[in-house]
Structure 1
Amino acid sequence: MTALAEQINRSVEAMLTYVETQTTDQAADILKVPARDYLDPVRFEREMALIFKRLPLMLALSIELPNPGDYKAMEVMNVPVLITRDREGRVHAMLNVCTHRGAPLVKPGQGSANRFSCPYHAWTFHNDGRLLAISDRAKFGEVDKDCHRLKQLPCQEVAGMIFVTLTPGLEMDVTSFLGGMLDDLESLGFANWHFCGNREIFGANWKIAYDGYLEGYHFAAAHPETVHPRTFSNIMHFDGFGPHLRIGFPQRSIGSLRDVPREEWYRHQNDGYDFVRTLFPNLSIFVAPEIAQIALLLPGPTPGQNRTILTYVTPKPPADEAEREKMEMMASFFGDVTNQEDYVLGLSIQKGLEAGALDHVTFGRNERGNQYFHRWVDHYLKDDPAAPPPSL
């Protein structure tokens, strides 16, 4: 049995015990987070500078750029990002900004192109960022092409995911950043899944939105007809890997696993229990047998707003029109639940905090994942490499 399989078996054993004893995974005490942490523009800018501009962000799945020449252009917190796959199959990330006068090279979206021509003056770049041609060069003057490459961003592809750091020149080690979470992500096999598409939703402060992915305490009240009929409310198990989490949610059918050999429990994801995997600071992954929803939270443009990109993938392409329609229905269901039952409520929470109703947001002992997340946010904002990291 692999180490990962045994990890999951221990999580299942804990969830079975919680259900049978009507308990849950708990922190040592409650945690109070100042309400201003969700409101303060100065803190928001520090979060952007010390977290979102420094850490690796998962901005694309490998299957979104399956072939040489494929690209994805997107706005990430006011940073125009262009991700490409060159003719050798390597991925690159760069600023989607022409090095002549600063015009965007390509509109947000996905496509295929071996080169990009600026719409302003037609300077042309290879899809790895090299400047290939300057229009009417004889009249323009001498230019060092090497000095006019597109500005490169640190970029690595692991576990079927493409990670980018938004600050040029920073060192990136995604393997170390993911730590013990990497084996779990690789086991999902996203590099071999089928890309279905993206959907955007809009919500409150990024931490309010992210808080909703980190606990099941709200299932009975917020999801009475969608999540709660399948999954127990307020029963969770947390495994931490650095700042990342794998959160176990027992289904109402989990008791049937007592009739299954313990060494086989890890094979029963979505059959007795579910996991939500979160990658700090802004990614949530829920994998169902037929489809997965991957939520990428992008803060801003103000402290009270976020834009979330929901990406949907399936283990294999739909075989026919009926399967395609079923896939679209499932994606719509997951997206509607996230938007209408979580994000709409989050926007109301934002209004309540902006009204000055609370001095602190209180996280109970049962909301262990939220406590862990907020301690990691504070850890990065200290900007002190010698500071010990939080523990779960």
Structure 2
Amino acid sequence: MTKDTGLQKTAEIIYDYAENKTTYQTDKIVTIPSSAYLDQDIWEAEVSKIFKELPLALATTAELREPHSYKAMDAAGLPVLMTRGKDGVVRAFLNVCSHRAAAVAENGCGIKKRFACKYHGWTYSADGRLMGVAEGNTFGDVDKSTLGLRELPCEEKGGLIFVILTPGKEMNLDNFLDGMLDDLENANFKDWAYLGQRELTGANWKIAFDGYLEGYHFAQLHPETIHPRTLSNLTHYESFGPHMRIGFAQTDIKEKFDAAPKEKWGEMENTGYDFVRILFPNVSVFLAPEITQVAQLFPGETPDKNRTVLTFFRPDPPKDDEDKAALEGMMDFLHNVVRDEDYATGDQIQKGLESGAHESIILGKNERGNQFFHECLAYYMNDRKGPMPTI
């Protein structure tokens, strides 16, 4: 689907895996202590050092396309408001009124030129300025210029909107992404149409995210849903800073590739092979012209819970009611696969870890993506000491 000739070598490697019935393998297996998924202190440190310090992909251009559009949401326990001003710039704020700390916007997306706190009616502009104090003549003198919404670092790139959840933090987004979004920009993802959203909850956020990072489980866990399209235990990994592009071979890769000129294989994403793009620490993007799924995973209120938001896109909006109904069916199908297969198993894993049956889990040589993800977690948890992990 994308036209990035830089994918040619990757496509050839994935085809070779399919021909030789093998997969990407590293030289070691790794163990992760069970406490990594259970311990309250570890969980609090992840929220503090990972989710509140790194750029998070919280929204897409498609959700805030027009001037005065907005998106309000909860992210890692914090209320966030993102707006696109009349100048076309996207900004982010803590969704907290400067008067008595109530929200100024309900969660969701929409169009508003002004945001009014539902508690006392103080109003704010899309660029965060305090515009009006309700019945100000009875309230007293205030300097409105000092009482705007608290702004968060925010930047838009490749059709995604990144926010750091700590005011005043420096955002060096290009350095953090390290070229990760080049192929999304090439696919013109910023112009794709928003289709809808689904939410679900599950086990510890890392238990859930581990499932997005390998295809070793496809045959066993998804025999009637994913496996008919995608070969099991055939995965290729590439890293971009802490992020990954994970390649999967479709079951008909040999047929599709043998019918095409070899020099065109790098242009055949979704025809013979697919990618899942992983944005550290918590986003998975499956890009396909039929329907694209962006999964955002956030720590829940306790270490044993996560909240996942699935958002769906397509290059063009629904053509008619029949097309819209078909897309709704596809969104329901993808949501149900995650809920009923992946996350139901994740809940069992959570109980298994809590049982104390084993002190650790094992990541095999074929699960390099999982190993790399945990290496990157350790890198940031240890205050970025030492070199950045690579694949």
Q: Which residue of 1 aligns with 2:117?
A: 118
Q: Which residue of 1 aligns with 2:271?
A: 271
Normalised to the residue count of structure 1, the TM-score between the two structures is: 0.97
Taking structure 1 as reference, are residues 5 and 189 closer, same or farther at Cα in structure 2, changes over 3 Å only?
closer
Q: Residue 107 of structure 2 aligns to which amino acid in structure 1?
A: P
CA–CA separation in structure 2 for the residues paired with 1:212 and 1:364: 14
CA–CA separation in structure 2 for the residues paired with 1:312 and 1:156: 21
Structure 1 stretches of 4+ moved >4 Å: none
Contact 2:9/2:266 (<8 A) preserved: no
CA–CA separation in structure 2 for the residues paired with 1:123 and 1:251: 55
Q: Which residue of 2 aligns with 1:300?
A: 300
1:74 lines up with 2:73 in the alignment? yes
Aligned length: 389
Contact 2:4/2:183 (<8 A) preserved: no
Contact 1:60/1:163 (<8 A) preserved: yes
Structure 1 unaligned blocks of 5 or more = none
Structure 2 unaligned blocks of 5 or more = none
Q: Residue 252 of structure 1 aligns to which amino acid in structure 2?
A: T
Aligned residue for 2:293, secondary structure, equals strand
Q: Residue 16 of structure 1 aligns to which amino acid in structure 2?
A: Y
CA–CA separation in structure 2 for the residues paired with 1:104 and 1:367: 43
Q: Which residue of 2 aligns with 1:15?
A: 14
User: Cα offset for 1:305?
Assistant: 0.5
Aligned residue for 1:157, secondary structure, equals strand
Q: Which residue of 2 aligns with 1:357?
A: 357
Aligned residue for 1:197, secondary structure, equals strand
Q: Residue 94 of structure 1 aligns to which amino acid in structure 2?
A: F
User: Cα offset for 1:355?
Assistant: 0.8
User: Cα offset for 1:82?
Assistant: 0.5
Contact 1:217/1:235 (<8 A) preserved: yes
Contact 1:175/1:182 (<8 A) preserved: no
Encode CA deviations 1:179-223: one digit per residue, 9 max, x unaligned. Answer: 121212212322111101111011111111010000000000000
Q: Residue 374 of structure 2 aligns to which amino acid in structure 1?
A: H
CA–CA separation in structure 2 for the residues paired with 1:263 and 1:203: 43
Q: Which residue of 2 aligns with 1:245?
A: 244
CA–CA separation in structure 2 for the residues paired with 1:58 and 1:164: 7
Q: Residue 305 of structure 2 aligns to which amino acid in structure 1?
A: Q
CA–CA separation in structure 1 for the residues paired with 2:11 and 2:87: 42
Q: Residue 234 of structure 1 aligns to which amino acid in structure 2?
A: N
Q: Which residue of 1 aligns with 2:310?
A: 310
User: Cα offset for 1:6?
Assistant: 4.0
Higher mean C-alpha displacement, 256-265 vs 314-323: 256-265
Aligned residue for 2:308, secondary structure, equals strand
CA–CA separation in structure 2 for the residues paired with 1:304 and 1:54: 22
Higher mean C-alpha displacement, 259-268 vs 365-374: 259-268
Aligned residue for 2:334, secondary structure, equals helix
CA–CA separation in structure 2 for the residues paired with 1:118 and 1:320: 38
Aligned residue for 1:373, secondary structure, equals helix
Q: Residue 391 of structure 1 aligns to which amino acid in structure 2?
A: T
Q: Residue 80 of structure 2 aligns to which amino acid in structure 1?
A: V
Encode CA deviations 1:85-110: one digit per residue, 9 max, x unaligned. Answer: 11111111001110011111121111
CA–CA separation in structure 1 for the residues paired with 2:311 and 2:298: 13
User: Cα offset for 1:258?
Assistant: 3.2
1:332 lines up with 2:332 in the alignment? yes
Query: After the TM superposition, which residues 246-261 of structure 1 pair with which residues of structure 2 at under 5 Å, given as runs?
Result: 246-256=245-255, 257-261=257-261
User: Cα offset for 1:138?
Assistant: 2.4
Q: Which residue of 2 aligns with 1:390?
A: 389
Q: Which residue of 2 aligns with 1:228?
A: 227
Q: Residue 366 of structure 2 aligns to which amino acid in structure 1?
A: N
Q: Which residue of 2 aligns with 1:320?
A: 320
Q: Residue 189 of structure 1 aligns to which amino acid in structure 2?
A: N
CA–CA separation in structure 1 for the residues paired with 2:33 and 2:201: 23
Percent pairwise identity: 50
Contact 2:82/2:93 (<8 A) preserved: yes
Encode CA deviations 1:154-200: one digit per residue, 9 max, x unaligned. Answer: 00011111111100000012222111212122123221111011110
Encode CA deviations 1:259-302: one digit per residue, 9 max, x unaligned. Answer: 42222112211110111111000000112221101000011111
Encode CA deviations 1:61-104: one digit per residue, 9 max, x unaligned. Answer: 11111111111111112200001111111111001110011111
Q: Residue 177 of structure 2 aligns to which amino acid in structure 1?
A: L
Q: Which residue of 2 aligns with 1:90?
A: 89
Q: Which residue of 1 aligns with 2:44?
A: 45
Q: Residue 275 of structure 2 aligns to which amino acid in structure 1?
A: F
Q: Which residue of 2 aligns with 1:62?
A: 61
Contact 2:195/2:312 (<8 A) preserved: yes
Name the Cα RMSD after superposition. Answer: 1.3
CA–CA separation in structure 2 for the residues paired with 1:76 and 1:29: 35
CA–CA separation in structure 1 for the residues paired with 2:350 and 2:191: 39
Q: Residue 280 of structure 1 aligns to which amino acid in structure 2?
A: F
Normalised to the residue count of structure 2, the TM-score between the two structures is: 0.97
CA–CA separation in structure 2 for the residues paired with 1:117 and 1:183: 38
Contact 1:155/1:163 (<8 A) preserved: yes
